[in-house]
Amino acid sequence: MFCLPNIRRMSEQAEKARKANRRRRSFACDGCGERFNIDDCRRKNQLYFIEEWHDSLSAGIKGILYFCPRCTQTI
The per-residue pLDDT for range 42-70, each reduced to its tens digit, is: 999 999 998 888 777 767 777 788 999 99
CA triple 37-22-65, angle to 5 deg: 65
How close are the terminal C-alpha atoms of the chain, in Å?
Answer: 37
Distances (CA, A) of 29 to 38, 66, 74: 11, 5, 13
Residues 6+ apart with CB under 8 A from 68: 29, 31, 32, 34, 36, 48
Q: What's the predicted TM-score (pTM) here?
A: 0.67
